[in-house]
Amino acid sequence: MKQLQAKSSSRQREAQSELERHEAKYIIEPALVPQIREFISPFCIPDPNADGDPPEYTIVTLQLDSPTLTLHRAKELETVNRFKLRCRTYGMEGTAPVFLEIKRKIKGIIVKSRTVIPRELWEPDLFRTPVSEIPFKSRNQRMNFIEFRRLMHRLDARPTMLIRYVRESYLGRYDNYARLTFDRRLCYCPAQGWQLPPQGVRWRTMDSCTAQRRPYSGMILELKTYRDAPEWMVELTERFDLVRVGFCKYSTAMRLESLFSGAEYSDGAENTTMGLIMT
């Protein structure tokens, strides 16, 4: 598995609704978090969109998929070029905007496009609304919405799974784009409709030992950067002997839901249903 490489040059990037980046994920013991916070303090600042100390916010994601789970299966089979369709909001109050996202993985590179939908327009009929009636913030967001809707119709995609977690977030102090996040209190529930966030549902934990295949309930550390990682990220992975994993929240939720449905647990797959045996 490729390791993070040190940054060789610094380039200015414009903020845009489509972002190309590299991501690395690690499952770590909670006891490591204070040490990592201390290590990154000279290089990072709290995410200005987060609240408190540590800086954090709640993310709720509605994953869309086809009736035959085409997108989930693509992850299971490690298809070289694959994508996810998801609708995301922040907080549990139901007042924040909804972000429609296409997250593509193309030969190991993450390309994410997103469109902001005002909360008052978020409803099932949104995708039948004429594009001209939606107040997009830019032409790029308008095109991203059209592409999202095209893929939805092509796959007959519909609400499939809800994922919720708390994210502690930091930004690189001197880097064009560098982020470090800790995700905790991961949970899921099968989607019953387009309500986001849902009300009155029963959330099931997904940061358990079973879900993570670890002897402890870990936190998900993510490092996100442009093509080359800053040197402090490389030193971080070496200092704490971090081992990169392919943890997918959506696939983990699908695997756990299969267990609830009567599948027999197998350690043949890390976080997908490929290792499950139906009984």
pTM of the model: 0.85
Q: How confident is the model at residue 119 (pLDDT cuts 50, 70, 90)?
A: very high
- Residues 203, 201: Cα–Cα separation, whole Å: 6
The model's confidence at residue 138, banded by pLDDT at 50, 70 and 90, is very high
In terms of Cα–Cα distance, which of 266, 220, 228, 268 is closest to 244? 220
pLDDT at residue number 17: 54
Task: Report residue 231 as tokens.
Answer: 């040197």
Provide φ and ψ at 110, rounded to 5°: -90, 125
Position 270 confidence tier, pLDDT thresholds 50, 70, 90: very low
* Percent of the chain clearing pLDDT 70 (strictly above): 86
The pLDDT of residue 258 is 85
What gap in Å lies between CA 141 and CA 134, rounded to an integer? Answer: 11
CB distance 66 to 153 below 8 Å: no
What lies within 8 Å, CB to CB, of 212 at 6+ separation is 27, 218, 247, 252, 271
Cα 113 to chain centroid distance, Å, stands at 13
Using CA atoms, how far apart are residues 138 and 116, in angstroms rounded to an integer? 10
Q: Where are the domains of the chain?
A: 18-245
Q: How confident is the model at residue 40 (pLDDT cuts 50, 70, 90)?
A: very high
Architecture of the 18-245 domain: Alpha-Beta Barrel (3.20)
Q: How far apart are CA 49 and CA 52, in angstroms?
A: 10
pLDDT for position 80: 83
CA dihedral 236, 109, 222, 88 (to 10 degrees): 160
Strand 158-172 with 109-117, pairing: unpaired
